[in-house]
Structure 1
Amino acid sequence: MEPTPIAASPLSQEDLASLRRAKEALESPSLTMKLASVVGSPIEKMMAKMPNVAQEKIDEATQAALKKCLQLALRTLSKSTVDGVVLPPEKPHNLMHKLAVATTGAAGGAFGLFALPIELPVTTTLMFRSICDIARSEGEDVHLIDTQLQCLMVLGMGGPSSSDDSADIGYFIVRGTLAQSVSKATSELAAKGLSGHGSTALLKFLQTVASRFSVQVSEQVAAKSIPAIGAVLGAMINTVFIDHFQQTAHGHFTVRRLERQYGQLAVERAFQTIDIASGK
């Protein structure tokens, strides 16, 4: 069966343009390539040189960072309603979050792997807050459990996990895999409340996200492993890091916004017919 032509799509031309931008964001060059362009050296070679103890520290720091995100990041977001009236979506404060993350990157560049247990939770929390800000700008209610987990899920969508066969796995496949964990965790949290952080489904969800996010963190740490990297380059690496996930968030929550209007099937069909390379 041939794909439905874009001309036959129920999406308006404006929404098709939004979907195109979303697909471009979701299919942008990998974080590996972006970091390599900053440091001027292949990230894979740097990762191969990292000792095993470094990966253990990364995994531990990633788990701690994600747990802190769930507990702390949303507390600093402004409410989406005033006296029961829903506020109109505002543009996300991407630059503000980039500057904050660049500051933590400067510290990481100066102190290297030793700073990871302190830097990563702060950086990840700032990134998570930025993702929530982007979700809010696309009409999501960031105080819903499902939305909170969708924001956390973005950190697992920024690239392949170590168990993926290829980096070229499509957005809807990755999203579908993670969505199953989100659904189970949402159901448990809805039943037990947010105090039930120890729910089995939520812990499995965090582990799934962590296994994927830790790959991206390893690449970031590898990029910072250059001798005498310094604060400036450390800040640049962190800026590339958050920008990568901000793009993913923009793409993901744009798709969700359009799905609320047109339905998932119509949006997915339109998404698949867009050819970024040819501009069609």
Structure 2
Amino acid sequence: MMTKAQQVLPPIKDPDVHDQIDRLARRYTGAGGLGIELLSKVGNSADGLIQRLPAFVRVRLDGITRFALNRAFSAASGSRRYFRDRGDWFNRMATSVSGAAGGAGGFAGAMVELPVTVTLLLRAMLGIAAEHGLDPDSDEVRLECLRIFAAAGPMADDDDTDFGLLAVRLSITGQTVQGLISKVAPKLSISLGQKLAAQAAPVLGAFVGASINFAFVRYYQEMARVHFGIMRLAKETGIPQEALVEALRLSIQRIEKRETLKRTQASAS
């Protein structure tokens, strides 16, 4: 019996599909941006940020993240019934205001603000799913949001982790939202822990809290557009998602090789 790993994927011959995949690849590689570079300088490294957290916070972070995810779905879905979806900038500014309030309060304020940030991020993702013609109330979309949250995060050192999740997304079958939350929470807690440590720096306070949340929401919005872009493309073309993901992976590799070559040439000149 042929396994998924041995499955021969059909070739993608439509140039329009390749163009759309290339656009998604460029969106993926540009998801971090200058804001994430700034955060990396603030914390020196992701591991360094985590070590800044007090021990009692590190121990509770997984539970806080699990609580935030459980609350976020009902809060985000409920708010969409009463308030229409807004654009990217509105969501980024709303999250920035939340981050500023949390950053001004140090660790205590940042921890209280964490579930609010997760809810705002999730609402932004659901709005992007609706933009792509998908049902934001469906289990399919909710599960995909959790997979996006399970990405390594904007401050991770290993860029392959995000795409690794995207590449194997179809291997996670039969999962309920609650079941996937249990798997996602430990991964998301690392990303949120990095945010929490940088945000709660006493010298930097509210300004960095707002900047961090702005960078985070931008990152997850871009990741959502990649994930939901692949889902929409599969529905519109009938091409298996595995084949689209493989084409996306190759396109990302080409872009990264070109960027590496440019940096090498620039440093040599």
TM-score (norm 2): 0.77
Measured in 2, the distance between the counterparts of 1:210 and 1:21 equals 30
Deviation for aligned residue 1:96? 1.1
CA RMSD of aligned residues (A): 3.2
- The count of residues paired between Structure 1 and Structure 2 equals 242
Matches within 5 A, 1:110-189: 110-159=104-153, 167-169=159-161, 171=163, 173-175=164-166, 177=168, 179-181=170-172, 183-186=173-176
Q: Report the CA distance shift for 1:207/1:219 in structure 2 as closer, same or farther (over 3 A).
A: same
Deviation for aligned residue 1:179? 4.5
1:233 partnered with 2:208: yes
Runs (4+) of structure 1 exceeding 6 A deviation are: none
Matches within 5 A, 1:54-65: 54-65=57-68
Counterpart among 250, 255, 263 of residue 276 in structure 1: 255
Q: Report the CA distance shift for 1:107/1:39 in structure 2 as closer, same or farther (over 3 A).
A: farther
The answer to whether the Cα contact below 8 Å between 2:76 and 2:123 also exists between their aligned partners in 1 is yes
The answer to whether the Cα contact below 8 Å between 1:36 and 1:223 also exists between their aligned partners in 2 is no
Q: What amino acid maps onto 1:100 in structure 2?
A: A
The answer to whether the Cα contact below 8 Å between 1:10 and 1:266 also exists between their aligned partners in 2 is no
Q: What amino acid maps onto 2:255 in structure 1?
A: I
Measured in 1, the distance between the counterparts of 2:245 and 2:59 equals 38
Deviation for aligned residue 1:232? 1.8
Measured in 2, the distance between the counterparts of 1:68 and 1:241 equals 19
User: Tell me, which stretches of 5 or more residues in structure 2 are unaligned?
Assistant: 1-10, 260-269
Measured in 2, the distance between the counterparts of 1:155 and 1:60 equals 16
Cα-to-partner distance string for 1:86-134 (whole Å, 9 max, x where unaligned): xxxx996211111110011011110021023421111110110000111
Deviation for aligned residue 1:39? 6.8
User: Tell me, which stretches of 5 or more residues in structure 1 are unaligned?
Assistant: 1-7, 80-89, 187-201
The answer to whether the Cα contact below 8 Å between 1:65 and 1:125 also exists between their aligned partners in 2 is yes
Counterpart among 249, 262, 273 of residue 224 in structure 2: 249
Q: What amino acid maps onto 2:166 in structure 1?
A: R
Counterpart among 75, 82, 98 of residue 92 in structure 2: 98
Match of 2:101 in 1: 107
Cα-to-partner distance string for 1:49-76 (whole Å, 9 max, x where unaligned): 3222121232222111100122221122
Deviation for aligned residue 1:213? 0.7
Measured in 2, the distance between the counterparts of 1:21 and 1:91 equals 24
Q: Report the CA distance shift for 1:63/1:222 in structure 2 as closer, same or farther (over 3 A).
A: same
Measured in 2, the distance between the counterparts of 1:56 and 1:225 equals 17
Using the aligned pairs only, state the percent identity. Answer: 24
Larger fraction in helix: 2
